[in-house]
Amino acid sequence: MHLVVLDGYTMNPGDLSWEPLHQLADCQIYARTPEHLVLSRGRSADLIITNKVPFYRETLKQLPLLKYIGVSATGYNIIDTAAASELGIAVTNVPAYSTMSVAQMVFAHILNLTTHVAQHAESVRRGKWVACQDFSFADFPLIELDGLVLGIIGLGRIGRSVAQSAHTFGMQVIFYEPQKKEDRPAWTSQVDVETLFATSDIITLHCPLTDATHHIVNRERLALMKKDAFLINTGRGPLIDEQALADALNRGMIAGAGLDVLSHEPPRADNPLLRSKNCYITPHNAWATRAARQRLLNIVVDNIKAFLDGKPKNIVQ
């Protein structure tokens, strides 16, 4: 069996071991694979691991040896699963490997927006505290989380983890789901989406990207938000109408945003959020703690083992 990893760098930039993969098959690992090299690198592969390299029908038809595609991520929209099924190619993904890491990034953004640790530390480095007449100062309002309302759109694994952390901070937790959630924690309240936008002090997005959730944050819903409210997105970039959010931030309609995802990644230079007021953007790395990446690699290996043993798991089609 010949195994090809097409874009392994983000999963393993060098601090993890590829040895478990080498033990499974003859293995060729590429850090990145541009589009024009996908066929030449994949043509001899029985097994392919991809993170962001897409496989649509025309590409799959030109890979006659291919029996398996392992997506080293939870989302698998880069794969034409219908075509893969017709061609007898199994496709697997890696669910639930980064839940705690993403929840941690949510609160990193929340705490950045409410306490401004880095900015205050930088002001001290510039000598402002040394020159201060008082023992204490604040360049930005310091906001306590206790008692604030956190609105969660999507109460799946990550949404629940965020909810639990918010509850520990003493926040009130409300959430929106299109279907009634009978198994919600007792200290949460399910509300409609308009109520969530109008009453939340902080809104965080954890729903899948679908036709129904595309631009769930739009101009009309941003207008419902409190002027001192914050928006967090560690889900998918297209959940937000980015121009509408940029306008809301620049006009002071909401107080700030913390984003780990954008509609195009890497972002285009003209993305309006790159220059928006009180908008803090991290480079889609909420998932990428070493612990999460190790879990990801472990599950990728387990998925391949299961497939080779004739007992596939985490099949997505």
pLDDT tens for 53-78 read 999 999 999 999 999 999 999 989 89
Query: At residue 268, what is the residue type?
Result: R
Task: Count CB neighbours of 165 within 10 A.
Answer: 19
Q: What is the pLDDT of residue 312?
A: 96
Across the range 228-244, mean pLDDT stands at 98
Q: What is the pLDDT of residue 179?
A: 93
Catalytic residue (choose from 109, 160, 236, 293): 236
Residue 185 has pLDDT above 80, yes or no: yes
Q: What is the pLDDT of residue 59?
A: 97
Task: Count CB neighbours of 100 within 10 A.
Answer: 17
Q: What is the pLDDT of residue 102?
A: 98
Q: What are phi and psi of 254, to 5 degrees?
A: -135, 165
Three-state secondary structure of 137-179: CCCCCCCCCCCCEEEEECCCHHHHHHHHHHHHCCCEEEEECCC
Q: What is the pLDDT of residue 3?
A: 98
Across the range 111-115, mean pLDDT stands at 98
Q: What is the pLDDT of residue 215?
A: 98
Q: What is the pLDDT of residue 200?
A: 98
Q: What is the pLDDT of residues 256-315, one digit of tens each?
A: 999 999 999 999 999 999 999 999 999 999 999 999 999 999 999 999 999 999 999 999
Q: What is the pLDDT of residues 1-13, one digit of tens each?
A: 999 999 999 999 9
Q: What is the pLDDT of residue 290?
A: 98
Catalytic residue (choose from 160, 284, 293, 295): 284
Q: What is the pLDDT of residue 83?
A: 97
List Cα–Cα distances, 24 to 85, 95, 289, 307, in angstroms. 24, 21, 25, 11
**Mean pLDDT in the chain?**
97
Q: Taking the model in full, what pTM does it have?
A: 0.93
The model's confidence at residue 84, banded by pLDDT at 50, 70 and 90, is very high
Write down how long the chain is.
317
The model's confidence at residue 99, banded by pLDDT at 50, 70 and 90, is very high
Q: What is the pLDDT of residue 276?
A: 98
Task: Identify the burial level of 236 via C-beta atoms within 10 angstroms of its C-beta, where 0-12 means exposed, 13-18 middle and 19 or more buried.
Answer: buried
The single-letter DSSP state of residue 95 is: -
- Token pair for 228: 């001192």
Residue 317 has pLDDT above 80, yes or no: no
- The domains of the chain, with CATH numbers, are 2-97+290-308 (3.40.50.720), 99-281 (3.40.50.720)
* CB 38, CB 63: distance < 8 Å: no
Q: What is the pLDDT of residues 138-181, one digit of tens each?
A: 999 999 999 999 999 999 999 999 999 999 999 999 999 999 99
Query: At residue 299, what is the residue type?
Result: I
User: Is residue 126 annotated as a catalytic residue, yes or no?
Assistant: no
User: Is residue 160 annotated as a catalytic residue, yes or no?
Assistant: no
Q: What is the pLDDT of residues 16-41, one digit of tens each?
A: 999 999 999 999 999 999 999 999 99
Q: What is the pLDDT of residue 112?
A: 98
Q: Is the dihedral of CA 23, 27, 29, 33 positive or negative?
A: negative
Across the range 208-237, mean pLDDT stands at 97
The model's confidence at residue 217, banded by pLDDT at 50, 70 and 90, is very high
Close Cβ partners of 66 (under 8 Å, ≥ 6 residues apart): 42, 45, 46, 47, 48, 60, 87, 89
Task: Identify the burial level of 234 via C-beta atoms within 10 angstroms of its C-beta, where 0-12 means exposed, 13-18 middle and 19 or more buried.
Answer: buried
The model's confidence at residue 46, banded by pLDDT at 50, 70 and 90, is very high
Is omega for the bond preceding 266 within 30 degrees of 0, making it cis? yes
Catalytic residue (choose from 265, 268, 275, 290): 265
Q: What is the pLDDT of residue 18?
A: 98
* CB 235, CB 263: distance < 8 Å: no
User: Is residue 57 annotated as a catalytic residue, yes or no?
Assistant: no
